């Protein structure tokens, strides 16, 4: 615990897309930082990044990197997290990990702070959920008083979800070149393949959404299915959600529940062309919800559409929000 009220912070994977966004989000939040250490692979060590106008040199990640620090934000891939997060934990740090390495570990909290902050107390390693899951469970949590009976997702995921390589491939193919990263020309089609295919016909991304939704909402038996699609949008994921509810509802009550829930902005006037868009969500830490309507195919069934900045709320902002809320509640 910090004695001064400020914290010594490490960013692991500082030179990556999410790592650099951590720097922006920490600065915007005026996070109480005393010392800030930027860490990456030997290949990236020596690069210079900026934080609040100060030039910081990236250091190579080693087991001794965490000595004397309080908090580590990880965004360097699952392998690095599996190897180094336990080391940081052993040295007393709170680790907030953006990879998938710890998400399905029963002893590790999978946390969206507006939904289940209490789960951060399970372990000094805290998992940041999948980006599309984060933006989906916030409005689903608002609907919990109506009783969640089943959930079906269809996602429209931006290329930034693949990191810099995805963004480069979209720009490359928009310029008329052949794709080098995606299996098809992302500038000309949507690609219903994110991560690897599994034996059950789902992709790993789709099963992440299934399993993570259940874990975050503490509903292990909730029926959930997902179809995850990469779309030719640079940044900002969208998810169409169909949710069956246990109880009868009025649309006005659903909208009121969304409006009252922390982290949600309702944009729901389709007649005025007001509904969630990636442009609307750009740079924001909120989840934008709209197209709220009854599902005509089933009783007590609801449809809505949600959008969020997947690099911010879907990754860096969610992690920083976890840390800030933990500090506010004296959990760090």
> Which among 131, 228, 261, 306 is annotated as catalytic?
131
Q: At what angle do helices 204-217 and 131-142 cross, to 10 degrees?
A: 40
Rg of the chain in Å (alpha carbons): 20
132: left (phi over 0), alpha (psi -120 to 50) or beta: alpha
Handedness of CA 229, 233, 234, 237 (dihedral sign): negative
Residue with tokens 């984060």: 134
- Going by their DSSP bridges, the two strands 33-40 and 48-51 should be labelled as unpaired
Which residue among the candidates 10, 70, 228, 237 is catalytic per the annotation? 237
Q: C-alpha 213: how far from its chain's center?
A: 12
228 annotated active-site: no
273 is catalytic: no
SS3 content of the chain, % helix, strand, coil (to 5): 35, 25, 40
**Residues noted as catalytic:** 131, 237
């Amino acid at each position: 615990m910090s004695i001064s009220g400020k914290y010594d912070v490490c960013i692991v994977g500082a030179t990556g897309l999410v790592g650099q966004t951590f720097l922006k989000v920490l600065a915007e939040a005026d996070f109480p930082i005393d010392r800030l250490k930027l860490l990456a692979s030997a290949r990236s060590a020596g690069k210079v990044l900026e934080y609040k106008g100060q030039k910081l040199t990236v250091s190579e990640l080693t087991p001794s990197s965490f000595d004397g620090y309080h908090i580590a934000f990880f965004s360097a891939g699952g392998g690095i997290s599996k190897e180094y997060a336990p080391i940081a934990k052993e040295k007393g740090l709170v680790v907030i990990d953006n990879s998938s390495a710890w998400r399905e570990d029963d002893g590790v909290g999978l946390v969206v702070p507006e939904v289940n902050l209490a789960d951060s107390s399970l372990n000094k390693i805290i998992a940041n959920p999948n980006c599309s899951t984060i933006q989906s469970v916030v409005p689903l949590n608002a609907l919990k008083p109506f009783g969640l009976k089943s959930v079906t997702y269809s996602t429209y995921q931006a290329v930034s979800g693949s990191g810099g390589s995805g963004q480069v491939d979209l720009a490359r193919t928009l310029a008329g070149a052949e794709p080098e990263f995606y299996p098809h020309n992302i500038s000309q089609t949507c690609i219903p393949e994110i991560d690897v295919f599994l034996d059950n016909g789902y992709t790993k991304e789709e099963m992440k959404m299934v399993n993570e939704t259940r874990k975050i909402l503490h509903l292990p038996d909730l029926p959930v299915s997902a179809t995850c699609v990469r779309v030719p949008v640079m940044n900002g994921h969208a998810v169409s959600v169909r949710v069956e509810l246990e109880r009868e509802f009025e649309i006005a009550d659903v909208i009121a529940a969304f409006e009252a829930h922390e982290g949600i902005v309702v944009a729901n006037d389709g007649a005025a062309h007001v509904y969630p868009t990636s442009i609307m969500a750009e740079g924001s830490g909120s989840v934008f919800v709209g197209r709220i309507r009854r599902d005509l195919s089933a009783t007590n069934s609801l449809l809505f559409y949600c959008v969020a900045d997947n690099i911010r709320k879907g990754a860096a902002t969610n992690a920083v929000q976890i840390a800030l809320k933990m500090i506010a509640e004296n959990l760090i």
